[in-house]
Copies of this chain bind each other. A is one copy, B any other.
Amino acid sequence: MNTPRVKEILSWYGSDNPGTLTNLARLLNHGKLGGTGRLVILPVDQGFEHGPARSFAVNPPGYDPRYHFGLALEAGCNAYAAPLGFIEAGARDFAGEIPLILKINNHDVLLDEKDPLPALTSGVQDALRLGCAAIGFTIYPGSSERVTMYQQLREAATLAKQNGLAVVVWSYPRGSSLSKAGETALDVCGYAAHIAAELGAHIVKVKLPSDHLEQEAARKVYEKEKVPIASLAERVKHVVQCTFNGRRIVIFSGGPASSDETVFQEVTAIRQGGGFGSIIGRNSFQRQKEQALQFLGKIISIYGS
């Protein structure tokens, strides 16, 4: 039975069909945070995005795609997200044991452009045949290729919604029009979250915002309207506000964490700011399983407290 909080969250998605709500509920109800309205998701697309050795050499069991299903399951995560091959390689063995998010576009760094365009590597039909609860899609607002991405997302999201899947959008500003600092600037991050929500995402994933303000026209408004941006919790709160005033699930990936303690402080700030959770990849699978379970357990306990 859905908790009142889950019911409340589902009520925000009044234009979706019961199939999509069912899959959103699956994501919200699975794992140790089930029913709380908070989510911790394990994503493992780093093999594709950065290369296998950079991703798994530090903890070689991670080369095996089944490892990550198991890690997400044992840690009590809400869901596990990965590209086609990794999902195909474990979906039968773990059928029905943990909600899956099929990451349908991917980018590799054997060529790393300033204005990247990920490749479509799978699709809604794959998500359905593999028993996934959602598709995942990355957009790079700021890239000169963004129009193509938005339109690919539109097509995939339309099909996903018709077929009762949820849509998770990674919104990562990048491109020749943005400075490096601008990629995590608060104004840019909030804008990126808003774009993802306008494009119809059910769940939006962004990076933790810094207190940098990138665009001059935006900076003037933040200063004039005295938008609080000093603390991380305030910035999270602002991003949540930018995402339909909190009526869309928005979760965060880690910043350049220097220590576990920093991560836990960030998670605490996300929680305080009203963020819905975390998506934690490398920090999880790039340590031995026992440590990973402890680490994820601690994060989950912060959200669940």
Contact = CB atoms under 8 A, between A and B. Distances in A.
Contacts of A245: 63-65
Interface in A78-129: 83-93, 106, 108-113, 117-123, 125-126, 129
A198 interface: yes
Interface stretch (A49-57, A259-267, A290-298): A49-57
Given A84-B200, A244-B65, A53 B222 contact: yes
A256 interface: no
A269 interface: no
Contacts of A150: 119-121
Interface string A55-72: 001101001110000000
A85 B196 CA distance: 8
B110 A191 contact: yes
A51 B215 contact: yes
Contacts of A48: 194-195, 198
B117 A147 contact: yes
A141 interface: yes
Given A86-B198, A117-B147, A158-B126, A51 B187 contact: yes
| Residue with the greatest number of chain B CB neighbours at <10 A, chosen from A117, A177, A190, A198 | A198
A221 B194 CA distance: 37
Contacts of A109: 215, 217
Nearest to A139: B119
Given A15-B130, A91-B14, A175-B111, A154 B57 contact: no
Given A52-B190, A64-B247, A108-B195, 20 more contacts: A14-B93, A48-B195, A50-B217, A51-B191, A51-B218, A52-B191, A53-B227, A53-B242, A58-B225, A63-B241, A65-B244, A83-B198, A89-B244, A108-B146, A109-B217, A111-B146, A119-B147, A121-B198, A121-B199, A125-B158
Interface of A: 12-16, 47-48, 50-54, 57-58, 60, 63-65, 83-93, 106, 108-113, 117-123, 125-126, 129-130, 141-144, 146-147, 150-151, 154, 158, 173, 175, 177-178, 187-188, 190-195, 197-201, 215, 217-218, 221-222, 224-225, 227, 238, 241-242, 244-245, 247-248
